[in-house]
Amino acid sequence: MFEELKVLLLVAIRNLALHKVKTLVVGGILLVGSFLVVFGLSLLGSVESTMSQSIIGSVAGHLQVYSSDARDDLALFGSGFFGRDDLGEINKFEDVKAEILKNENVSDVVPLGFENALLGRGNLLDDLFERFRATVKARSEKDIASMIETIKVNLRTVRSDLENELKISSIPDDIKKQIVDVEQALSDDFWLKLKQDPESVLIFLESKIAPLSGEKEPLYLRYMGTNPAQFAEVFKKFKIVDGENIPAGERGILLSQRIYETQVKNIVARGFDNLRKGVIEQRKKIAEDISLKTIASDLPKQYLEVVVYLSGEKRSEIAAQLKGFLKADENELEPLMKKFLTVDDSNFEERFSYFYKTIAPSIRLYPFKVGDTINLRSYTRSGFLKTVPLKIHGLYQFSGLESSDLAGAFNFVDMVSYRELYGRMSSEGQKELEELRKEVSVKPIESGSLEDSLFGGDVTLETRSDDNAKTAGLPRENAVLEFKRAATEKYDTAELNSGLVINAAILLKNPRRLNSTRIELEKQLADANMKLKVVDWKQASGTLGQLVSVIRAVLLIAVGIILIVAMAIINNAIMMTTLERTREIGTLRAIGAQRSFVLKMFFVETLTIGLLATFLGAVLAVIFVSILGTRGIASPSDFVSFLFGGPRLYPTFSTTIAVVAPIVVAALALVFTLYPAFMASRISPAAAMQDRE
């Protein structure tokens, strides 16, 4: 047996050396096939690993639990459809948490719930008049005079826009009235009233003039209710970059640093930031890239977003600096600012630097900052618009995912505020309502007796009027009916882990037991009569979580097609070689070689070249992956950076894949060698004689 194998191996090596073309073709194909399989699966495995860390480490946890009555599937990063997902409710989170924690592999359970809110941002004149009101209140004559000049400059721009609109409007009377209001605000007589009756002047500006500037596009915020302290402790990627986490027992909101920079920031500054990313970081040209060209063309139109914040000496100072910087003849700030904001590839870097060094410090880059209170508006589940004032305690981001829009999609609020926006009353609110009921003697009414309760039932409507009747049931003269405002900024921390939640993140001690733990929890919750679904992080993240599975399927199909084509080529190459070796095989048969020997000879040849080529391909793939693992693969977009777990992917290879993949490819080549080998084994000694003749 061993001697035969030795002979077969020597013959195989000799034949491979003799038939160099066939050896190179077959070996090259197998090398490339093995390289693609090892490299592709290693890259995919690295992406799956980094993406799982991004999703698990941000908001998903290892598992998610939500109501089995939900009409929609849980999709933390969006289901891909518009509208509000119906995920049902978990009304007694404390019971669910206690039951889940009974599982030995569960380390923690974090309450969650997410919705969308609207944040109105007013307009430019709103901001200007707000600052003017503060200036008037401070009674600084110099600052007031400076602000009045700034207001007049902006009003002239508004008047010019209205006059242009009047030329094409189908309702000219309304616009004419607006122009009259602007003319009144521009008149000297109007401003003379400021000393005698400042409030009437301010009210006129805020009610009549401010709306003429139109509304800024409202900011849509996706917010998630949770236990802030627990969330920060459990999700290690979470970090506060400005301010502080929401203190225990206090209401508030944590804004995403990503949203703060890309949606809240002054629109001119955002334009410069976006151009910088494209021009400097991505090495694109404004003149060649459509998106950059659009941003650049829109930038000069936003000049009012800068000049509205400049008044008095600062206005004159910036105008003088711009005149020198641009080497322009104009003296007025508005045309100078328009010219400055007209950027192209030749001047962008210089103007970007100048904007942040000279202009940005003099304007309001952000409409609100840490420590301010914003009014979050959201529709409750019953369809009513609910507004809740929340203090911005800080800005957050997830480590390694700073540039990802997906990772920064959420803004976090305390669970008590979330419930209020959702439409559930807090315990403070319930106490307040109960006090009101007692104060005004409210009694519950059964639906069946509603009419009797409203209209008196059997009580006679005609009654004798006397002093006792008049005063019966009414408050005493000195009694005061008070509406005690709930202490909405404070709450009992126990409320965070009790009551309503929509879903909850489950963190595991041993993530390798994810599937078995999920099955255990489903059974455990079912036995406790809790109608809940338990899903893993892939399913919980929606279409995003299925992306890796789709990529894996596409990759495997593509590699499969490539390998099948490659094997067909190998099959043809061996077939051609077999025909060329007819005399050689016939001679072997003539000197006593059995058909089984010829068959084994072909198998050993294919196996020898197959193993050598495929393992060489695997080694090259491992070397290539190792190099990329050191240098990293730059993310081409913000979305891909979420999949990469950061701005660069550092792939790693799997030893199992590096060993198994070459063997599988070599075995596949062996299968495609069967037919040519059987053909070769059927060649008779007579064929060798015929070939010689």
Distance CA 687, CA 589 (A): 10
Q: Is this structure's pTM higher than 0.95?
A: no
Domain hosting residue 588, numbered range: 2-54+546-692
653 within 8 A of 42, measured Cβ to Cβ: yes
- Helix (H) or strand (E) holding 108, with range, is strand 106-119
Within a domain: 325: yes
Helices 685-692, 582-590: axis angle to 10 degrees equals 130
Q: Is there a single domain that holds both residue 270 and residue 186?
A: no
User: Which residue type sits at 319?
Assistant: A
Say how many C-beta atoms besides its own lie within 10 A of residue 224's C-beta.
21
Q: How far is CA 4 from the centre of its chain?
A: 64
Q: What's 528-595 look like in SS3?
A: CCCCEEEEEHHHHCHHHCCHHHHHHHHHHHHHHHHHHHHHHHHHHHHHHHHHHCHHHHHHHHHCCCCH
Distance CA 535, CA 549 (A): 16
Q: Is residue 60 part of a domain?
A: no
Count Cα atoms within 13 angstroms, Cβ side, for 81: 10
How are the residues of the chain apportioned to helix, strand and coil, as percentages rounded to the nearest 5? 60, 10, 30
Distance CA 219, CA 525 (A): 40
Q: How far is CA 53 from the centre of its chain?
A: 15
111 shares its domain with 156: no
CA 422 vs CA 224, 347, 373, 377, 575: distances in Å: 11, 50, 19, 10, 72
Asked if 299 and 342 touch (Cβ cutoff 8 Å), the reply is: yes
With respect to residue 470, please indicate whether it lies within any of the assigned structural domains.
Answer: no
Q: Strand, coil or helix: what is 360?
A: helix
Whether residues 346 and 303 fall in one domain: yes
Task: List, in order, residues 6 or more apart from 562 with CB less than 8 Å away.
Answer: 33, 36
Residues 240 and 293 in one domain: no
Please indicate, yes or no, if residue 453 is contained in any of the structural domains. no
Distances (CA, A) of 534 to 61, 75, 99, 540, 668: 12, 13, 13, 9, 40
Residue 604 near residue 6, CB atoms below 8 Å:
no
Closest CA to 39 of 623, 649, 552: 623
Both 514 and 565 in a single domain? no
Residues 499 and 629 both lie in one domain: no
- Tally of domains in the chain: 4
Question: Tokens standing for 166?
Answer: 């009047």
Question: Based on the domain organization, do 328 and 190 belong to the same domain?
Answer: no
In this structure, which amino acid lies at residue 261?
E
Strands 410-414 and 219-226, sheet pairing: parallel
Which is nearest to 509 in space by CA: 108, 60, 51? 108
SS3 annotation, 259-284: HHHHHHCCHHHHHHHHHHHHHHHCCC
Distance CA 684, CA 656 (A): 44
| Identity of the residue numbered 441 | S
Residues 21 and 115 occupy one common structural domain: no
Q: 32: which strand partners?
A: none
Asked if residue 62 belongs to a domain, the reply is no
| pLDDT at res. 576 | 67
Query: In whole angstroms, what is the distance from residue 563 CA to residue 583 CA?
Result: 31
Residue 446 lies in a domain: no
Helix (H) / strand (E) containing 134: helix 124-138
Supply φ then ψ for residue 222, to 5 degrees.
-95, 115
502 and 583 assigned to the same domain: no
- 496 φ, ψ to 5°? -65, -35
Query: Which of the listed residues 333, 365, 397 is the one where a domain comes to its end?
Result: 365
Pairwise CA distance, residues 476 & 514, whole Å? 67
Where among 334, 365, 396 does a domain terminate? 365
Torsion 187-190-192-198 (CA) sign: negative
Q: Are residues 388 and 525 in the same domain?
A: yes
Helix (H) or strand (E) holding 93: helix 93-100
Answer for the pair 398, 58: CB distance below 8 angstroms, yes or no: yes
Mean pLDDT by 10 residues, the chain (693 residues): 62 63 76 87 85 85 93 78 74 93 95 87 76 84 83 85 83 87 90 88 88 74 92 92 93 94 92 93 91 94 86 86 91 90 94 94 90 87 84 92 81 93 67 58 54 51 44 40 44 88 94 94 93 91 74 76 74 66 64 66 75 89 91 80 81 88 83 70 62 48
SS3 of 289, please? coil
How would you classify residue 456: left for phi > 0, otherwise alpha for psi between -120 and 50, otherwise beta? left
Residues 6+ positions from 268 with CB-CB distance below 8 Å: 299, 302, 303, 305, 306, 341, 355
Q: DSSP label at 469?
A: H
End-to-end CA distance of the chain: 36
Rounded CA separation 461/459 (Å): 6
Give the pLDDT confidence score for residue 7 in this predicted structure.
59
What's the pLDDT at 95? 94
CA 569, distance to chain mean position in Å, is 46
pLDDT at 142: 80
Query: Is there a domain that residue 473 lies in?
Result: no
Structure tokens at 319: 């105008």
> What pLDDT, on the 0 to 100 scale, is given for residue 52?
82
Same domain? For 115 and 131 the reply is no
Say yes or no: 28 and 144 in one domain. no
Paired tokens of 344: 């192209």
Cβ neighbours of residue 53 under 8 Å, at least 6 residues apart?
237, 645
Is 657 within the bounds of a domain? yes
Tokens of 32: 């490339």
Q: Which positions ≥6 away from 171 have C-beta within 8 Å?
A: none
- Where b means 16+ CB within 10 Å and e means fewer, 160-195 reads eebeeeeeeeeeeeebeebbebbeebeeeeebeebe
| Confidence (pLDDT) at 575 | 67
